[in-house]
Amino acid sequence: MNKRYAFLMNADKCIGCRGCAMACKNFNRLEPSMVWRQVYPLAESIYPHRERAFYSLACNHCDDPACLRACPTGSYEKREDGIVVHHQETCIGCTNCVRSCPYGAPRYNAEEKHAEKCSMCRERIDAGLLPACVQACPVGALELVDLNTLNEPNAVQFPAGYPSMPRLNPATRFILPRMPRQIRGQS
């Protein structure tokens, strides 16, 4: 059975340091205005302690990617291991992929006049290394997992506040933050 790579985002561990986002930006040599991975604080309606809960998000490497279906030039490829790759060299900059992705993963690079997105650092994975974002996480909140063997009972696919798109079947999984324990006396 082939692997199906995915990011496992553990919001219970994430400290919001943005090391993952900076590692992505540095490894991929992105323009200053270009961002492929972002760290978002969870809304207070989802988790009442806003300063303590975050999601680190990039491309979800969907099973049925909307970006791939919308591309008129075939610039997207879905590998057997689940990684969705965008080939910038054949992109004409039409932005169909940008408009079609409900998760906002493809971004338009106005300077280069083409779309771009996370490719899960496929070059690093092919060399037996972790994606730059995963390697950079100081607390292990972001992991590379194989969905075919993932044995994490607390992992969810569509947490509160995250667009539920079962038809696309996004690969990213989440472990939700737990409520913090009261450390000092009871009120």
Is 76 inside a domain boundary?
yes
Question: Which residues share a beta bridge with 114?
Answer: 109
Q: What is residue 53's predicted lDDT score, i.e. its pLDDT?
A: 84
Residue 26 host element (H or E): helix 19-27
Q: In the prediction, which pLDDT does 169 show? A: 97
Q: What is the pLDDT of residue 180?
A: 59
Q: Are 22 and 82 in contact (CB under 8 A)?
A: no
CATH number of the domain that residue 163 is part of: 3.30.70.20
Tally of structural domains, the chain: 1
Task: Give the residue numbers spanning the domain of 83.
Answer: 5-175
For the chain, the C-alpha Rg in angstroms (whole number) is 17
Taking the chain (187 residues) in consecutive chunks of 10 residues, what is each chunk's mean pLDDT? 93 94 96 93 70 88 97 97 97 97 96 96 97 98 97 93 93 86 51
Q: Model-level pTM greater than 0.95?
A: no
Residue 181 inside a domain? The answer is no
Q: Is residue 29 part of a domain?
A: yes
**180 inside domain:** no
* pLDDT for the residue 125: 97
